[in-house]
């Protein structure tokens, strides 16, 4: 009896140790496997669609391979970052967002300083992916933005269930996902660092979610995931990359559908030293690939094959990004905004009226007044007018309806005038 009790205690102890070990090795990582399971439950046709997409990509790479291996033009993807916070710590500063975008551009262009750590045996397949990211400077409605949206939420954390992606469920709704990469930054429940939606999913949930503790590389709370590479990894998924071990823990059957990433039996963790281990007949595991599970400081490459797969996915399934205006500064809108602050009074008018709000209009401003037949009855141009109010005298012009057009730079605004 006593011996039996002791055995139970030993078993219990081992169970606790195993649980602790698993939590440390797997939970603090990408949420793609449980997230994809949930999506497959919601949409039984998804798995078939994803399978078909893999073959379409392979065909696309066969046809366009040489172009994909030597990308002539860099693809710029506009990013909108939705910071959804419940505490001040979760409301991360702009600098942290800027750092994250900088870090993405280093990694995807292979400009990261730690490329020197890429083992010799993998250097020939390491790739500049020809993909860059910008914080959006133009909204889908052609308005100016800094690409950062801040939303307070009552929710203290978000699961891997897309609730972060709608204002109806305590999160923030995405911008047009066909023209922007939506990244949500929040407190993800459990130990997950992030998750992403593969191409081919629902528009309203498309994008990447990253825990606020591991976003960017300034003010980052986590001691090991502190160089912005959770986003590098999750955007890899968003561009249709899989984990390099093929998501089949303990087996060599799975594949990431990329030829130059050696297959592996399991994910790698912590910060191994090359050559770390071998499995699945590889001659050394590519644990430093962004699609493995090591610490941020131990990642350093995407491969040529992964670049081809990402570029194929963009051209096949995310092609609207190629014509997105999200990275293009808004031109002309500031002038329109200045014109929108103009006011006229009185109206209806007797003989004189005033145009107010000229203080922000530096340079040349033109006034034209036309009757309903389009005949010009008044014209005047002022330059660097010193006052905020300009008087126009219409005495001598018969009563009736007129239209005042004010032109500033390449834009204009019209008012309807009634002279009594
Ligand atoms: Zn992942």
- From 294, 323, 352, the end of a domain falls on 323
pLDDT band at residue 266 using 50, 70 and 90 as cut-offs = confident
Q: How many CB atoms lie within 10 A of CB 86?
A: 17
Select from 225, 232, 238, 245 the least CA-distant residue to 292.
245
Q: State the distance from the centre of ligand 1 to the C-alpha of 242, rounded, in angstroms.
A: 7
State yes or no: pLDDT of 302 exceeds 80: yes
Could you list the residue range(s) of the whole structural domain that residue 134 is in? 24-323
Average pLDDT, the chain: 88
Domain shared by 207 and 283, yes or no? yes
One domain, residues 61 and 153: yes
Asked whether residue 6 is domain-assigned, the answer is no
Do residue 350 and residue 305 come from a single domain?
no
| Pairing of β 389-393 and β 181-186 | unpaired
Nearest to 397 by CA among 349, 355, 365: 349
What's the N-to-C CA distance of the chain in angstroms?
Answer: 109
Within this chain, do residues 155 and 99 fall inside the same structural domain, yes or no?
Answer: yes
pLDDT at 160: 93
Q: Are 39 and 237 in contact (CB under 8 A)?
A: no
Q: Is the pTM of this model over 0.85?
A: no
Rounded mean pLDDT, 237-249: 91
Cα(213) to centroid(ligand 1), Å? 17
* Cβ neighbourhood burial of 391 (10 Å; 0-12, 13-18, 19+): exposed
Q: Which CATH number fits the domain that encloses residue 384?
A: 2.60.40.3080
My answer on whether 311 and 350 are in the same domain is: no
The C-alpha atoms of residue 91 and residue 23 are separated, in whole angstroms, by 27
- The residue with greater pLDDT, 297 or 50, is 297
Please check whether residues 288 and 397 belong to one and the same domain: no
Q: Of 271, 303, 323, at which residue does a domain stop?
A: 323
Closest CA to 119 of 289, 242, 292: 289
Catalytic residue among 28, 57, 234, 308: 234
Q: Which of 302, 323, 344 is the endpoint of a domain?
A: 323
Q: Is there a domain that residue 176 lies in?
A: yes
Q: Is residue 15 domain-resident?
A: no
Q: What confidence tens digit (pLDDT) does each residue in 185-236 have?
A: 999 998 899 999 999 889 999 999 999 999 999 888 888 999 999 999 999 9
Cα–Cα–Cα angle for 61, 65, 70, rounded to 5 degrees: 130
Q: Tell me how many domains the chain contains.
A: 2
* Whether 270 and 350 share a structural domain: no
| Residue 198, pLDDT score | 93
Cross-strand partners of 165: none
Both structure tokens of 184: 């949500």
Pull the structure tokens for residue 395. 């005495």
As a dihedral over the C-alpha atoms of residue 260, residue 263, residue 267, residue 269, rounded to 10 degrees, the angle is -60
**C-alpha 196 – ligand 1 centre gap (Å):** 8
What is the Å distance from ligand 1's center to 339 Cα?
49
Active site residue 51: no
Can you say how many angstroms the Cα of residue 296 is from the centroid of all Cα atoms in its chain? 20
230 and 362 part of one domain: no
Q: Is there a contact between 255 and 263 (Cβ–Cβ < 8 Å)? A: yes
* Same domain, residue pair 159 and 267: yes
Residue 333 binned pLDDT confidence (cut-offs 50, 70, 90): low
Residues 303 and 277 grouped into a single domain? yes
Q: What is the CATH number of the domain that holds 61?
A: 3.40.390.10
């Amino acid at each position: 009896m006593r011996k039996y009790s002791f055995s139970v205690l030993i078993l219990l102890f081992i169970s606790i140790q195993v649980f602790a070990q698993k939590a440390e090795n797997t939970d603090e990582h990408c949420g793609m496997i449980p997230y994809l399971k949930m999506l497959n439950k919601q949409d039984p046709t998804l798995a078939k669609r994803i399978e078909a997409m893999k073959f379409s990509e392979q065909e696309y790479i066969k046809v366009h391979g040489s172009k994909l291996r030597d990308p002539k033009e860099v693809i710029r993807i506009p990013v909108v970052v939705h910071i959804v916070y419940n505490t001040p710590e979760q409301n991360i500063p702009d600098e942290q967002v800027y750092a994250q975008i900088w870090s993405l551009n280093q990694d995807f262009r292979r400009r990261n300083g730690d490329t020197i750590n890429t083992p010799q045996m993998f250097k020939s397949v390491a790739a500049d992916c020809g993909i860059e990211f910008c914080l959006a400077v133009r909204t889908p409605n052609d308005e100016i933005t800094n690409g950062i949206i801040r939303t307070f939420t009552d929710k203290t954390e978000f699961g891997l269930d897309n609730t972060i992606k709608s204002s109806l469920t305590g999160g923030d709704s995405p911008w047009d996902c066909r023209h922007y990469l939506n990244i949500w930054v929040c407190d993800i429940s459990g130990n997950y660092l992030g998750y992403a939606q593969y191409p081919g999913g629902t528009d309203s949930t498309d994008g990447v979610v990253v825990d606020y503790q591991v976003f960017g590389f300034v003010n980052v709370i986590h001691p090991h995931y502190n160089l912005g590479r959770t986003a590098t990894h999750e955007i890899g998924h968003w561009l249709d990359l899989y984990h390099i071990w093929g998501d089949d823990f303990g087996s060599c059957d799975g594949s990431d559908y990329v030829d130059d990433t050696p297959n592996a039996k399991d994910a790698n963790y912590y910060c191994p030293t090359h050559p770390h281990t071998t499995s699945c007949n590889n001659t050394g595991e590519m644990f430093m690939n962004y699609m493995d599970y090591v610490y941020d400081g131990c990642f350093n490459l995407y491969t040529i094959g992964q670049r081809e797969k990402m570029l194929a996915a963009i051209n096949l399934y995310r092609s609207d990004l190629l014509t997105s205006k999200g990275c293009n500064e808004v031109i002309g809108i500031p002038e329109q905004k200045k014109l929108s602050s103009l006011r006229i009074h009185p109206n209806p008018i007797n003989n004189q009226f005033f145009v107010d709000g000229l203080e922000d209009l530096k340079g040349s401003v033109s006034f034209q007044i036309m009757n309903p037949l389009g005949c010009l009855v008044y014209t005047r141009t002022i330059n660097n007018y010193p006052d905020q109010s300009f008087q126009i005298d219409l005495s001598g012009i018969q009563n009736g309806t007129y239209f005042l057009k004010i032109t500033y730079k390449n834009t204009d605004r019209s008012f309807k005038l009634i002279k009594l």
